[in-house]
Amino acid sequence: MEQNKINLTIDNIPVSVEKGTTILDAAKACGIEIPTLCHLNLKGTCVNNRPASCRMCVVEVAGRRNLAPACATTVMEGMEVRTSSMRVINARKTILELILSNHPHDCLTCGKSGNCELQDLARKLNVKEVPYDGGEVSCYAVDKTVSIVRDMNKCILCRRCETMCNEYQSVGAIGSMNRGFDTTVAPAFGKNLADTDCTYCGQCVAVCPVGALTEVDNTSRLLKDLADPEKIVVVQTAPAVRAALGEEFGYPAGTSVTGKMVAALRQLGFKYVFDTDFAADLTIMEEGSELLGRLGAYLEGDKSVKLPILTSCCPAWVNFFEHQFPDMLNYPSTARSPQQMFGSIAKTYWAEKIGAPREKIVVVSIMPCLAKKFECERDEFKTNGNPDVDYSLSTRELASLIKEANIDFKALQDADFDAPLGESTGAAVIFGATGGVMEAALRTAYELYTGKTLAKVDFTAVRGFEGVREASVNLNGTTVKVAVAYGLANARRLMEDIKAGRSEYHAIEVMACPGGCIGGGGQPLHHGDFDIVKARSKALYGEDAAKPVRKSHENPYIQKLYEEYLGKPLSEKAHALLHTHYFAK
């Protein structure tokens, strides 16, 4: 153990760290934060972007002629590191000034203002002027999709987005193109992002240190709708939003702010504040029944049944398998995502209940996700051109809207969701974390299949932050094997196993983003600190544990919906309103 330790000094502080540690991490261990820009290490995932290309983290190492990049230099015995000598400070400042010399100076109106790592560094390093002019100012057209906006004029070539898209998601919609001054991160062949295999997961946006990658902003559209007295504007909020929104208002990561979020939404002017969690319970009813249906048929000897069944809640994952596995579209569950189930029920069942035509109702969703914006636009989720969910805002957009409306978030009294589409169980709230959908499905599937009551509703084996996890459940003597994955590169491996006939699973849950929706592309920025994302999961599991009802099939409002309207899970009406089909792309 001890011989694996390396002893060195950083700014004269003696440190002892594991062999192989970078200077950056060793410094962090003794409380010294070395500034970084291109570096991104989501510890515990495969994401470790350290091209050492920005040189912001340079440090002085005694006996070494050149300054060393702390992110990519490993510690050595007896090393003497200086992280803030005159030479280091001057070098960092020059580097930053050079980056700024080729960066637009429109900070005041930039979507990233106040949340920009480049802006922060300029302030931190006390940059007051940019002494370098000239050079080439790149001029790229802004590329706008329904989810993501790319403005490569602002790109600083850190390549974090490229790492997320290629290594973490294995999509490769964007990559480095050209060289020298012409270098840019872009789709192949000068295409627009909308013409690529982009899944709109938004992880490129989540890690972009500057304003080069941002989401499509729907806040003005929403304000306009809220001001229209002719419209009934209702909102649904995804589970992961409540676990992260507080961070934008100074709460520590992992604080659940459900009550304040509901109060803020009401104050913004929404007539009804509903919960996507209601639809998550509904998803479990449909998807769980589908799982049991396929499993039952399989056990009775029907070998044509497609197993494993794959979850279909994550819109980036749906885009992924439509593009990458077009010949395997009969594996995923046909159940729509909770967002779309909500929209469908709101504009039929609930519209009838309040006696309003669907055209008058505007369904807005608050999502931790950017792919949800794309999902709203899918033609199959429209009736006569009217979308089930009109549009979606990210958690970040909601936070900026609350600030814009001058709402004192911290001072708000907790409020409750409206009935009936605001009532949910503990099973629904954990949908926002990796493993949560599977756990919710298992709680219901177990009880429906065995007729027994679960002694313990927690399926802890599917929880956690391993990229792929597996568990077995005994259903009346039948062992059901399930797997949970986050990250589309992990999902790809599972899909290839299925294709090759190597998969032993009966059901697989996939979420595209790190840690599930809590690490979604629309969430408050974690700036590379994956512990923030992990903390959010505690908020969700905490809410689950505190709920009086923790199994979807026991949600009384869901039971009522089936009694009054849908009949039973997988009924003809349920199929028409709550299921979908997939398209090879």
Partner 1 sequence: MENNKISCEALAKVKAICSAHNNDAGELINILHETQNTLGYLPHEVQSLVAECLGVPATRVNGVVSFYAFFTEKPKGKHPISVCLGTACYVRGSEKVLDEVKKVLGIEVGETTPDGRFSLDCLRCVGACGLAPVMTIDGKVYGNVDPKNVKKILESDEYKD
Residues that bind partner 1 (CB under 8 A): 166, 171-179, 186-189, 197
Catalytic: 359? Answer: no
- Rounded to a whole number of angstroms, the minimum distance from the CB of residue 191 to partner 1 is 9
Nearer to partner 1, 187 or 387 (CB): 187
Contact 317, 330 (CB under 8 A): no
Identify the residue whose tokens are 């504007």: 233
State the DSSP code for 125.
Answer: T
- Rounded to a whole number of angstroms, the minimum distance from the CB of residue 198 to partner 1 is 11
Nearer to partner 1, 44 or 175 (CB): 175
Nearer to partner 1, 101 or 170 (CB): 170
Token pair recorded at residue 465 = 């932050």
Angle between helix axes 436-450 and 276-299 (nearest 10 degrees) is 50
Catalytic: 380? Answer: yes
Nearer to partner 1, 189 or 455 (CB): 189
Catalytic: 439? Answer: no
Catalytic residue, chosen from 116, 313, 314, 369, is 313
Catalytic: 290? Answer: yes
Catalytic: 201? Answer: no
For residue 192, the Cα-to-chain-centroid distance in whole angstroms is 23
Contact 432, 517 (CB under 8 A): yes
For every residue of 404-430, DSSP letters joined together read HTT--GGGPPP--PPTTTT---HHHHG
Catalytic residue, chosen from 260, 372, 373, 534, is 372
Task: List the beta bridge partners of residue 117.
Answer: none
Catalytic residue, chosen from 116, 517, 543, 552, is 517
Catalytic residue, chosen from 375, 397, 439, 447, is 375
What does the alpha-carbon distance between residue 63 and residue 80 come to, in Å, rounded to a whole number?
9
Catalytic residue, chosen from 60, 117, 290, 447, is 290
Catalytic: 517? Answer: yes
What does the alpha-carbon distance between residue 196 and residue 89 come to, in Å, rounded to a whole number?
42
Nearer to partner 1, 74 or 166 (CB): 166
Catalytic: 333? Answer: yes
- Rounded to a whole number of angstroms, the minimum distance from the CB of residue 182 to partner 1 is 8
Catalytic residue, chosen from 256, 312, 333, 392, is 333
At residue 14, the 3 state secondary structure works out as strand
At residue 186, the 3 state secondary structure works out as strand
Nearer to partner 1, 119 or 169 (CB): 169
- Rounded to a whole number of angstroms, the minimum distance from the CB of residue 156 to partner 1 is 18
Q: Show the DSSP H helices in 472-529 as ranges.
A: 488-499
Q: Give the length of the chain.
A: 585
Query: Which amino acid is located at 241 in the chain?
Result: V
- Rounded to a whole number of angstroms, the minimum distance from the CB of residue 180 to partner 1 is 10
- Rounded to a whole number of angstroms, the minimum distance from the CB of residue 183 to partner 1 is 8
Contact 512, 314 (CB under 8 A): yes
Q: Catalytic residue numbers?
A: 287, 290, 313, 333, 372, 375, 380, 517
